[in-house]
């Protein structure tokens, strides 16, 4: 049964069917061919969406869209430029730091690229950087978004594996800071090797203070979000709702750049993005149910545990699997299909659930940078008006810090578990 399911799924992908359609079509065909109860199609799909943590997904998408609509990304970018100053490779460093800040409200790599990509690339080209370098650092920095809270992939992973969404989001903070530091180190090395330009800004305390005052309401959004999670007063859904309310407040009353038309457009974009994500969630739930009925998770678990009982060895094997999967499958679909299969076996072997969640998502975010299905590559190709092969060449050097981050997170559980364990004491 599983063989038929998987063959039909890949055939559907090859002929160009959307991932959700491929999942649903293959599941429906397997159910009909093997005389399984047809009503399960609807039941499993609806039950998958009946999840409180998943309510955070559209709210975080809406919050990011509202903040982008009011133009706060430009204020944040200008402030960080002034703070970083005129060091060599400064605008590259600024792009990384701004991605970290904006990731505190966006929760998705593609959202970061959509909001910041054009600003980052245009600014670097204007300063004398190659468009290829600008595209590469923009894509690499966008991987921070899905690791730093609020991460939409981490929320979905938590809902699939029954891990605490709050703890998993908190677990992403230190790894995200690690990725940021290693990316900045890479830019510093490249600045020396390739004599990257210095920024043309003239930083001064009055200029920084003035821009900080303008940017403060926007900077408070991620602080509010992270503070709510760390304090324990809010879960992911509650803090998402508060962030939306805060975005509306500063958009209408502080910046006064948010209009009813912009709010409507943000709601429309949120509905479209959420529908796409939840369609995949619903059809992947039916797909996973068919696999479970055929005992695929149990067989896969026995196979993995038969290879080794060493948690680090198993994590490295899963890393290799996910790096390959990330080249071909959209990240949310990969989480929904593969996590229920491999997570129980690795938990049984002693891998911490929080560490596994971070490793899982980071692998798939690196997959966004790899052809043939690297969505970040195609999105930046459109924004930067560059052929995809040039974008790939631009991002290649940044695989070094990203893969190094992955190895550190895989080898040292405390990188992911220290902060959530500290806060739970």
Confidence band for 151, pLDDT divided at 50, 70 and 90: confident
351 contacts 311 by C-beta, under 8 angstroms: yes
Q: What is the pLDDT of residue 412?
A: 93
Q: Which residues, listed in sequence order, are joined to residue 198 by a DSSP beta bridge? A: 88
Q: Is the pLDDT of residue 4 over 90?
A: no
Q: What is the pLDDT of residue 301?
A: 67
- Tell me the backbone φ, ψ of residue 88, rounded to 5 degrees: -70, 130
Q: Express each pLDDT in 322-335 by its tens digit.
A: 887 777 777 888 88
What DSSP string describes 54-97? GGHHHHHHHHHHHHHHTTHHHHHHHHHHHHH-S-BTHHHHHHHH
Q: What is the pLDDT of residue 400?
A: 94
Residues 8 and 90 in one domain: no
Number of domains in the chain: 2
Q: What is the pLDDT of residue 39?
A: 77
Residues 30 and 127 in one domain: no
Quickly count: other Cβ atoms within 10 Å of residue 403's Cβ: 16
Lowest-pLDDT choice from 197-206, 285-294, 367-376: 367-376
Q: What is the pLDDT of residue 92?
A: 87
Q: How many whole angstroms separate alpha carbon 362 and alpha carbon 146?
A: 8
Residues 25 and 93 in one domain: no
Residues 12 and 79 in one domain: no
If DSSP codes are grouped into helix, strand and coil, which group holds residue 198? strand
Residues 210 and 197 in one domain: yes
Q: How many whole angstroms separate alpha carbon 229 and alpha carbon 243?
A: 12
Q: Express each pLDDT in 27-46 by its tens digit.
A: 888 887 777 777 777 887 88
Q: Is the pLDDT of residue 358 over 90?
A: yes
HEC states along 315-379? HHHHHHHHHHHHHHCCHHHHHHHHHHHHHHHHHHCCCCHHHHHHHHHHHHHHHCCCCCCCHHHHH
Residues 313 and 272 in one domain: yes
Q: What is the pLDDT of residue 109?
A: 66
- Average pLDDT of the chain is 83
Q: Is the pLDDT of residue 408 over 90?
A: yes
Q: Is the dihedral of CA 109, 115, 119, 125 positive or negative?
A: positive
Who has greater pLDDT, 202 or 132?
132
Q: Express each pLDDT in 211-244 by its tens digit.
A: 888 888 888 888 888 888 777 777 778 888 888 8
**Token pair listed for 224:** 């509010």
Q: Which residues, listed in sequence order, are joined to residue 88 by a DSSP beta bridge? A: 198
If DSSP codes are grouped into helix, strand and coil, which group holds residue 38? coil
Residues 4 and 136 in one domain: no
Residues 107 and 132 in one domain: yes
Q: What is the pLDDT of residue 177?
A: 95
Residues 87 and 31 in one domain: no
In sequence order, the 6+-apart residues with CB closer than 8 A to the CB of 248 are: 66, 258, 263
Residues 68 and 5 in one domain: no
Residues 31 and 139 in one domain: no
Q: Is the dihedral of CA 370, 374, 376, 382 positive or negative?
A: positive
Q: What is the pLDDT of residue 372?
A: 65
Mean pLDDT along residues 282-291: 80
144 contacts 100 by C-beta, under 8 angstroms: yes
Residues 32 and 134 in one domain: no
Closest CA to 61 of 117, 119, 118, 112: 112
Boundaries of domain holding 57: 39-424
């Amino acid at each position: 049964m599983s063989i038929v399911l998987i063959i039909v799924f890949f055939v559907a992908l090859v002929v160009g069917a959307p991932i959700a359609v491929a999942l649903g079509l293959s599941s429906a065909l397997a159910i009909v061919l093997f005389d399984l109860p047809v009503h399960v199609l609807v039941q499993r799909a609806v039950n998958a969406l009946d999840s409180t943590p998943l309510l955070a997904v559209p709210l975080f998408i809406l919050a990011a869209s509202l903040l982008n609509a009011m133009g706060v990304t430009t204020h944040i970018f200008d402030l960080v430029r002034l703070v970083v100053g005129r060091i060599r490779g400064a605008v590259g460093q600024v792009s990384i730091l701004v991605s970290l800040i904006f990731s505190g409200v966006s929760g998705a790599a593609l959202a970061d690229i959509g909001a910041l990509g054009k600003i980052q690339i245009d600014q670097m080209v204007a300063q004398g950087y190659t468009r290829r370098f600008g595209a590469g650092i923009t894509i690499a920095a966008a991987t921070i978004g899905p690791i730093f809270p609020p991460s939409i992939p981490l929320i979905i992973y938590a809902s699939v594996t029954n891990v605490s969404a709050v703890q998993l989001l908190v677990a992403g903070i230190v790894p995200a800071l690690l990725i940021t530091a290693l990316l900045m180190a890479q830019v510093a090395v490249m600045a020396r090797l390739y004599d990257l330009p210095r920024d043309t800004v003239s930083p001064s305390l009055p200029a920084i203070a003035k821009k900080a005052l303008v940017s403060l309401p926007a900077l408070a959004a991620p602080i509010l979000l992270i503070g709510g999670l760390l304090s324990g007063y809010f879960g992911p859904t509650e803090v998402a709702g508060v962030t939306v309310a805060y975005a509306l407040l500063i958009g209408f009353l502080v910046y006064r750049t948010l209009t009813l038309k912009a709010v409507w457009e943000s709601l429309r974009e949120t509905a479209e993005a959420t529908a796409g994500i939840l369609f995949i969630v619903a059809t992947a739930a039916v797909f996973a149910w068919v696999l479970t009925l055929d005992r695929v998770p149990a067989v896969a678990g026995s196979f993995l545990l038969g290879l080794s009982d060493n948690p680090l060895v198993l994590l490295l094997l899963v890393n290799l699997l996910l790096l390959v999967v990330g080249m071909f499958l959209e990240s949310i679909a990969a989480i929904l299909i593969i996590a229920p299969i491999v997570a129980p076996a690795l938990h049984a072997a002693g891998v911490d659930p929080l560490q596994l969640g971070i490793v899982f998502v980071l692998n798939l975010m690196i997959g966004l940078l790899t052809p043939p299905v690297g969505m970040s590559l195609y999105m930046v190709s459109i924004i930067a008006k560059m052929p995809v092969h040039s974008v790939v060449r631009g991002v290649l050097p940044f695989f070094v810090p990203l893969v190094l981050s992955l190895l550190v997170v895989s080898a040292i559980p405390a990188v992911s578990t220290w902060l959530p364990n500290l806060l739970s004491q």
